[in-house]
Amino acid sequence: MRSERLILIAGVDEAGRGPLIGAVVSAAVILDPARPILGLNDSKKLSEKRREQLEPEIKAKALAWALGRAEAAEIDALNILQASLLAMRRAIEALSIQPTEALIDGNRIPAGLRMPARALIGGDALEPAISAASILAKTARDREMQALDSRYPGYGLAKHKGYPTKAHLQALSQLGPTPEHRKSFGPIKRLRQADLFAPS
């Protein structure tokens, strides 16, 4: 009897590179070909309601899924690109099943992976496993922003999810940064410098 090696593709994506606050969150997903999920797409092209509908279906039907993250302090220490790659590697390493190959959204591959990997620009709109990962990463990070909104009211985090909107920047100028804000990002760095050199 001939044994065929099962090919397990892990799609990997992240959410939260652009915001001024919180962790960058990644996800890795190995889909089950026998249990297709309709409507997968780049999370940015889906409504929040549709992402929330797809999230439990992905988790229920996938062969394996996992989240990874890099905290704001790690982003400040490494830079956002390296922190994003670290979060992706952590998601892959957290999978309960070892994938045959990892498909990474973007043009960079995390260092230290124990399996072959390929970078795929625009992969979250092209490869279903990456689409699924983008949805899990986005919904997880949005939920974290809602939790931070409760801890730090006044910044509007539940609404703008930490991105540098006019409302967020105005709140920062009035309230100052929280401990969760990314100190290495321009708007936060400028606020801290202005405070440092403000007359006493």
Please state the domain extents for the chain: 9-196
Give me the mean pLDDT over the 70-81 stretch. Answer: 98
Answer whether 26's CB lies under 8 Å from 114's CB.
no
Specify the pairing of strand 9-15 against strand 101-105. Answer: parallel
Q: For residue 1, what pLDDT is reported?
A: 39
Token pair of 120 as six digits: 């795929």
Answer whether 29's CB lies under 8 Å from 62's CB.
yes
Q: What's the pTM value of the predicted model, to 2 decimals?
A: 0.93
Answer whether 130's CB lies under 8 Å from 12's CB.
yes
Query: Whose structure tokens read 């910044």?
Result: 155
Instruction: State pLDDT tens for residues 151-183.
Output: 999 999 999 999 999 999 999 999 999 999 999
Q: For residue 5, what pLDDT is reported?
A: 65
CB atoms near residue 58 (< 10 Å): 23
Query: Whose structure tokens read 């549709």?
Result: 50
Overall CATH class of domain 9-196: alpha beta
Instruction: State pLDDT tens for residues 40-50.
Output: 998 989 999 99
- What is the gyration radius of the CA atoms in the chain, in angstroms? 18
Residue 81 has pLDDT above 80, yes or no: yes
